[in-house]
C-alpha cells in the first residue's frame, strides 16, 4: 500500500487524454476508427447543410490526407468571451466545446458532444483550418492538438463564406494506413441521399471528380437498393412518407427476398444498430399490415401471422431529424431517445394505414407475400420439428415422473406442469397420450427471483422442468431444441395454486425468458366451482364468476360444488374443463415491448427480498382497486 499514493494519480489534459485512449472517442485505431476521423469532419459540414446554410460540400482524398470543404457560415474565429482566445481555437483544442449544445445555432445536428473536431485534431500530426465569414478569412494550423504559430487573417469579399478542414491522421496512433475511396464514396453518397438538393463533390487524387445530388432523398436511395438487390418487387410502387413535425422521411416496399433490409438514420448519421426510431417504424409496419390482413379473403382463417412473416422481404429506409438526439457512444451507432419510438409510430401508422386502404392492389400483393412467408415458416418448422423431436427423445435423459407423449411433431405437443402427484395422476388419465405430456411438481417450487443458476439446477423440481423441455437454461438456452410446442401451467384454482403458478412464471422469466417471448407459456384456467342449475352444469373459475352467474339466475336454486383440488376432480371433468383443446380455457403469457420495464419492476417488487417494495406495490394495487370500485 505504501507504493500507491497521490503521486500515482494521473490527470491527463488535452490532447494527451484523447491520444492515450483514442478508442474511447473513435471506437478503435483500425480502419473503422481511422475513417471515423473523416466522418466527424464531414458531419460538421453536413450539419451546416441540414441547417440550411450550405449547398455544396467537397471531400478531397490523397492517400493518407483528407480535406472537407463547405460553403456554410464558416467557423467563428472572433474572441471567445470566456477563454479570451479565438473561438476556432476553442473548438479545435477543447473537449466538449461547440455550437450544438442548444437549439440556437442548429435545430438538429449529428454532432452532440462537442468533441469531434478536437478529437480529430488531437489524433492528427497535421491539421489546418480555413474559415471565411464576415469579410475575413482565418487560417490556422495544428499538430497533435497544439496550435502551430499564429492565426493568419486576411480580407475576403463579404459574400464569401465557408470552411475548409484538411488533416493527416497521426501514424504514431494509427500506423501506416490510407483512406479507402470506395468506403468514402459510399458514405458521401448516403449523405447526399439524406440531404436532398445539396451537391456533394468527391475528388480522389488524379481520378475524375464525382458529383452526388439527389432531389428525391430516400426515394432515390430505395430505388438504388432495389436495382442493385435484384429481387422481384411485390408491389408496383413503394410507400413514401414525409413529415415536417417531426422532420422525417420513410420509404419502404416488399420484395421476393427471404430476408429483410431496414436502414435507419438520425440527423443524417447512419445508425447501424438501429434504435428507437427503428423500433417505432417496425411496430407501425407490423401493426398496419396485420390490421389490413384481418378478415381479408386471401388470408386462411387458421394461419397464424407473426411479425417475422410481415418483415420477410421488407426493404425500408427511415431518416429522422430531432433536436436533442441521444446516441450510444461517440460513434453514434444507435439512437436511444425513448420518446422517438412513439413519435415515429404515431406518425407512420396513420399514413401507412391510409396508403394500404387507398392502394388495394398493392395491399393485396403485400398480403399474399406475408401469407406465403407464414406458410413457408409453418411448413419448415413442422418438418424440422419432426426430426428434432424424434432425435431429442432418444438423446435426452428425461425425468422419471414425466409421462411423455408419442407425437413426433413438436408444434402439436403440450407439456402440462401439474401441481402435486395426485393431480398429476388425474391429468395422466385425462390427457391425450399422443400430444399431451404430464410432469407433476411437488409442492411450492423455489422462488428464483434472487437465486443463482447453480442453486436452481440443484433444485430437483426445477431441474426436472429443464430436462423435460430439453432446450437448456440461461445463456445456453436454444429454443430450436425445445421438445414441446406449449408449456401449460395447470394448478389448483385456489390461492396456493396461483402462488405456485407465479413461482413457475418467475422461474421462466428469469432463467428461460425465450419461452415467454416466443409465446410458448400458457396458464390453464381450471374451474373452482361446478354450478348445477336445472339440468345444465356451469364451470366457474373464481368467486367473481360465481357472483356473476348467480346474478344471471336470481330465481334459481343452484347446487354449488367447490373443488378442493385437481386431484379430486374426475379425469373426464378435468379433460373437458382444463385439458381438451376444444373446451378448455387458457391464457397465453407474454410481455408487450412497451411494458417491459414495468414487468421487470413488478417481478422485482413481488418476488424480491425487499418486503417494503412488495408492501408498497400491493398497497398501490389495493388503493387503485378500491378507487375503481368506488367510481363504478
CA separation for the pair 68, 43 (Å, rounded) = 10
CA separation for the pair 41, 26 (Å, rounded) = 13
Place of cell 489546418: 128
Q: Provide the terminal-to-terminal Cα distance of the chain, rounded to the nearest Å.
A: 69
Cell of 109: 445536428
Cell of 112: 452532440
Q: What is the number of alpha carbons within 13 Å of residue 452 lying toward its C-beta?
A: 3
> Whose CA is closest to 471, among 480, 462, 463?
480
Q: What is the DSSP string of 97-158?
A: -SS-SSSSS-SS-S--SS-HHHHHHHTEEEEEEEEEETTEEEEEEEETTEEEEEEEEEE--T
Q: What is the DSSP string of 446-510?
A: P--TT--HHHHHHSHHHHHHHHHH-S--GGG--GGG---SEEEEE--SSHHHHHHHHHHHHHHHH
CA separation for the pair 197, 55 (Å, rounded) = 8
**b or e along 199-238 (b: 16 or more beta carbons within 10 Å of the residue's beta carbon)?**
bbbbbbeeeeeeebbbeebbbbbbeebbeeeeeebbbeeb
Q: How would you list the strands of the sheet with 199-204, edge to edge?
A: 146-155, 136-143, 124-133, 162-169, 65-70, 56-62, 199-204, 210-212
Q: Is the peptide bond before 246 cis (omega within 30 degrees of 0)?
A: yes
CA separation for the pair 307, 576 (Å, rounded) = 33
Sign of the CA dihedral running 255, 256, 260, 263: negative
Cell of 351: 399514413
Torsion of CA 40, 41, 46, 49, to 10 degrees: 150
CA separation for the pair 312, 289 (Å, rounded) = 12
CA separation for the pair 529, 542 (Å, rounded) = 7
8 Å CB contact between 313 and 369 = yes
What lies within 8 Å, CB to CB, of 416 at 6+ separation is 427, 431, 436, 437, 438, 439, 488, 490, 524, 579
Give the residue numbers marked as catalytic.
419, 492, 494, 496
Amino acid at each position: 500500500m505504501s507504493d500507491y499514493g497521490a503521486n500515482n494519480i494521473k490527470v491527463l489534459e488535452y490532447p494527451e487524454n484523447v491520444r492515450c485512449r483514442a478508442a474511447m472517442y473513435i471506437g478503435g485505431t483500425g480502419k473503422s476508427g481511422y475513417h471515423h476521423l473523416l466522418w466527424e469532419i464531414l458531419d460538421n459540414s453536413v450539419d451546416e447543410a441540414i441547417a440550411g446554410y450550405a449547398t455544396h460540400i467537397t471531400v478531397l482524398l490523397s492517400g493518407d490526407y483528407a480535406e472537407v470543404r463547405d460553403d456554410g457560415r464558416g467557423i467563428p474565429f472572433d474572441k471567445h468571451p470566456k477563454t479570451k482566445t479565438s473561438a476556432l481555437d476553442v473548438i479545435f483544442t477543447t473537449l466538449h466545446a461547440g455550437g450544438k449544445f442548444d437549439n440556437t445555432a442548429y435545430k438538429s445536428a449529428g454532432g452532440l458532444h462537442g468533441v469531434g473536431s478536437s478529437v480529430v485534431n488531437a489524433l492528427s500530426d497535421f491539421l489546418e483550418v480555413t474559415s471565411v465569414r464576415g469579410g475575413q478569412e482565418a487560417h490556422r494550423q495544428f499538430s497533435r492538438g497544439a496550435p502551430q504559430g499564429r492565426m493568419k487573417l486576411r480580407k475576403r469579399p463579404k459574400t464569401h463564406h465557408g470552411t475548409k478542414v484538411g488533416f493527416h491522421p497521426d501514424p504514431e496512433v494509427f500506423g501506416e494506413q490510407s483512406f479507402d475511396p470506395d468506403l468514402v464514396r459510399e458514405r458521401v453518397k448516403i449523405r447526399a441521399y439524406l440531404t436532398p438538393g445539396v451537391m456533394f463533390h468527391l475528388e480522389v487524387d488524379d481520378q475524375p471528380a464525382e458529383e452526388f445530388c439527389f432531389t428525391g432523398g430516400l426515394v432515390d436511395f430505395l430505388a438504388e437498393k432495389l436495382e442493385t438487390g435484384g429481387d422481384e418487387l411485390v408491389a408496383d410502387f413503394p410507400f413514401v412518407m414525409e413529415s415536417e413535425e417531426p422532420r422525417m422521411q420513410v420509404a419502404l416496399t416488399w420484395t421476393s427476398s427471404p430476408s429483410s433490409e431496414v436502414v435507419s438514420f438520425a440527423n443524417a448519421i447512419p445508425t447501424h444498430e438501429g434504435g428507437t426510431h427503428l423500433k417505432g417504424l417496425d411496430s407501425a409496419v407490423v401493426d398496419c399490415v396485420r390490421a389490413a390482413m384481418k378478415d381479408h379473403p386471401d388470408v386462411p382463417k387458421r394461419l397464424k401471422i407473426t411479425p417475422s412473416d410481415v418483415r420477410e422481404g421488407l426493404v425500408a429506409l427511415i431518416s429522422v431529424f430531432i433536436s436533442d438526439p441521444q446516441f450510444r457512444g461517440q460513434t453514434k451507432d444507435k439512437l436511444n431517445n425513448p420518446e422517438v419510438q412513439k413519435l415515429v409510430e404515431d406518425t407512420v401508422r396513420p399514413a401507412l394505414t391510409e396508403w394500404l386502404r387507398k392502394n388495394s392492389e398493392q395491399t393485396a400483393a403485400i398480403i399474399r407475400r406475408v401469407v406465403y412467408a407464414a406458410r413457408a415458416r409453418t411448413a419448415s418448422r413442422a418438418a424440422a420439428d419432426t426430426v428434432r423431436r424424434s432425435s431429442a427423445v432418444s438423446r435426452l435423459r428425461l425425468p422419471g415422473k414425466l409421462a411423455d407423449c408419442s407425437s413426433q411433431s413438436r408444434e402439436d405437443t403440450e407439456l402440462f406442469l401439474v401441481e402435486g402427484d395426485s393431480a398429476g395422476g388425474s391429468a395422466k388419465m385425462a390427457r391425450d397420450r399422443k400430444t399431451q405430456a404430464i410432469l407433476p411438481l411437488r409442492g411450492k417450487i423455489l422462488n428464483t427471483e434472487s437465486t443463482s443458476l447453480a442453486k436452481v439446477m440443484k433444485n430437483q423440481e426445477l431441474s426436472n422442468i429443464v430436462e423435460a423441455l430439453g432446450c437448456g437454461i440461461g445463456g445456453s438456452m436454444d429454443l430450436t431444441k425445445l421438445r414441446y410446442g406449449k408449456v401449460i401451467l395447470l394448478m389448483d384454482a385456489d390461492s396456493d395454486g396461483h402462488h405456485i403458478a407465479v413461482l413457475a412464471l418467475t422461474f421462466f422469466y428469469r432463467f428461460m425468458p425465450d419461452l415467454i417471448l416466443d409465446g410458448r407459456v400458457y396458464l390453464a384456467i381450471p374451474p373452482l366451482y361446478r354450478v348445477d342449475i336445472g339440468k345444465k352444469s356451469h364451470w366457474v373459475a373464481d368467486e367473481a364468476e360465481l357472483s356473476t352467474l348467480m346474478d344471471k339466475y336470481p330465481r334459481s336454486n343452484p347446487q354449488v360444488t367447490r373443488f378442493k383440488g385437481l386431484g379430486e376432480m374426475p379425469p373426464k371433468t378435468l379433460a373437458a374443463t382444463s385439458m381438451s383443446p376444444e373446451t378448455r380455457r387458457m391464457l397465453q403469457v407474454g410481455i408487450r415491448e412497451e411494458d417491459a420495464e414495468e414487468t421487470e419492476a413488478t417481478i422485482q417488487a413481488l418476488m424480491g427480498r425487499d418486503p417494503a417494495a412488495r408492501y408498497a406495490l400491493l398497497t398501490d394495487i389495493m388503493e387503485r382497486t378500491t378507487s375503481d370500485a368506488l367510481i363504478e
